[in-house]
């Protein structure tokens, strides 16, 4: 029997447990998979990958053996994470489709654990490779946000597309880049934990998903460890990092396999450097894509490909992160030109300034009042049989004016 909108919304709000596997044994299996991949690369006369040292099971204020999530939280995390991916000129629905198509793909299995629903298992509805990749993003981002909120209480946690943030400082596309395979290795997302009066903490995240057997998870996490190793704030190997591979087991449930490397990546301005002012325009820089590695005493630092944010760029990078986060919020809630004002040309502002269909234009006339708060958006914000998702009016109006200083993305 086909469900109506109310039934679908009720199902989306039901909480389920999702298994989390994060142990020393997992770290060992991933290290073995990385060693096998490196050996194969040597046999093929290819350079072994640089991988993140110190990846281990999540400890301390982590997440335990499971977390409790609603499908709505998961799809919201996925939608916010990929909204700037520029999936099509249709905007609106195109920017939200990655999450919308999974509205009925998740349900609860035995033992109150989340699993794929019959629709989610239907190969005619969901191409497995795409499904595992996209749901892998949603689960990884949801886990990362949950973990960071526990580690940094009273902080705002934001998700930023790593490509968008990095594009402002490093050229990621072009004929010169194509000749450097290592430049393609980068995190999928950057998470920012921020509290007023304190520097931002930046955590790179690489996420994968699979319908295959568990041994393939180890290979995925070994590859993800090379992605997060490509990004550093400050000195080499001081940046905390998270890698996640989500195993979609069909009727067997869903398991997130995760490893974390401890560290500190606060964007503390160097003495004499100004604090980040997110209201100031962001200009593209041309930082050479390299990472400075530790050197033996008396020797010059070796340098390898990657992205390293050095102290002289902390304030600039914090501004890039904030504005990319705000651009994502505006794209998620309503419109081209309002999104474009927070992006540089290299970050893709042209995409959001281009032609917009009249039915998805930025007419700020869609309102709703929820628990005394007025929410505002546009007709292109996604609907489920007439039910919309909007943004709080005060925040929307402020960001529409181009002011984001002091406002967490």
Q: How far apart are CA 224 and CA 244, in angstroms?
A: 8
Task: Identify the residue whose tokens are 């794929």.
Answer: 116
Q: Given pLDDT bands bounded at 50, 70 and 90, which one contains residue 196?
A: confident
Instruction: Enter the pTM of the model.
Output: 0.85
Picking from 28-42, 157-171, 377-391, which range would have the lowest pLDDT averaged per residue? 377-391
- In DSSP terms, 241 is beta-bridged to 261
Each residue's pLDDT tens digit, 338-360: 788 888 888 888 777 765 544 44
Q: Return the number of other C-beta atoms located less than 10 Å from residue 16's C-beta.
A: 22
pLDDT at 28 over 90: yes
102-132 pLDDT, tens digit per residue, is: 888 898 866 689 999 888 888 776 788 889 9
Query: Cβ neighbours of residue 327 under 8 Å, at least 6 residues apart?
Result: 84, 164, 339, 340, 342, 343, 347
Residues 383, 400: Cα–Cα separation, whole Å: 22
With a CB cutoff of 8 Å and minimum separation 6, the contacts of 281 are: none
Residue 54 phi/psi, 5-degree rounding, is 80, 10
Q: Are strands 391-392 and 373-377 parallel, antiparallel or unpaired?
A: antiparallel
The CA distance from 396 to 403, in Å, is 10
Average pLDDT over the chain reads 81
- List pLDDT tens digits, range 376-395: 555 444 444 344 444 455 55
Segment 163-188 mean pLDDT: 77
CA distances from 324 to 256, 298, 346, 347 (A): 27, 40, 12, 9
Q: Answer yes or no: is pLDDT of 219 > 50.
A: yes
373 band by pLDDT with thresholds 50, 70 and 90: low
């Amino acid at each position: 029997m086909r469900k109506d909108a109310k039934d679908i919304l009720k199902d989306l709000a039901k909480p389920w447990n999702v298994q989390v596997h994060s142990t020393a044994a997992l770290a060992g299996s991933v290290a073995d998979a990385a060693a096998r991949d490196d050996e194969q690369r040597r046999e093929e006369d290819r350079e072994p990958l640089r991988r993140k040292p110190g990846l281990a099971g999540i400890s301390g204020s982590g997440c335990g053996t499971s977390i409790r999530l609603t499908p709505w939280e998961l799809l919201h995390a996925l939608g916010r994470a990929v909204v700037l991916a520029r999936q099509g000129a249709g905007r609106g629905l195109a920017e939200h489709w990655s999450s919308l198509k999974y509205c009925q793909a998740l349900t609860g299995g035995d033992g109150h654990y989340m699993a794929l629903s019959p629709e989610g298992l239907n190969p005619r509805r969901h191409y497995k490779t795409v499904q595992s990749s996209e749901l892998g993003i949603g689960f990884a981002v949801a886990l990362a946000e949950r973990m960071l909120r526990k580690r940094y209480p009273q902080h705002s946690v934001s998700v930023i597309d790593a490509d968008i943030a990095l594009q402002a400082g490093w050229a990621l596309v072009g004929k010169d880049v194509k000749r450097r395979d290592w430049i393609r290795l980068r995190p999928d997302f950057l998470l920012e934990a921020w509290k007023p009066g304190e520097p931002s903490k930046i955590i790179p995240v690489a996420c994968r998903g699979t319908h295959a057997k568990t041994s393939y998870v180890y290979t995925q996490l070994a590859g993800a460890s090379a992605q997060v190793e490509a990004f550093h704030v400050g000195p080499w190997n001081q940046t905390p990092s998270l890698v996640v591979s989500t195993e979609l087991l069909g009727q067997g449930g869903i398991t997130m396999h995760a490893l974390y490397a401890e560290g500190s990546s606060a964007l503390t301005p160097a003495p004499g450097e100004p604090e980040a002012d997110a209201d100031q325009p962001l200009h593209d820089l041309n930082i050479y894509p390299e990472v400075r590695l530790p050197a033996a005493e008396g020797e010059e630092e070796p340098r390898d490909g990657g992205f390293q944010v050095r102290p002289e760029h902390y304030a600039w990078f914090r501004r890039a992160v904030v504005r990319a986060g705000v651009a994502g919020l505006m794209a998620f809630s309503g419109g081209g030109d309002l999104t474009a004002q927070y992006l540089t040309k290299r970050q893709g502002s042209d995409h959001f300034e281009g032609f917009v269909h009249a039915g998805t234009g930025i007419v700020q006339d869609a309102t709703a009042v929820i628990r005394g708060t007025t929410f505002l958006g546009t007709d292109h914000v996604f609907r489920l049989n007439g039910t919309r998702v909007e943004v709080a009016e005060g925040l929307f109006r402020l960001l529409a004016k181009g002011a984001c200083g002091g406002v967490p993305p």
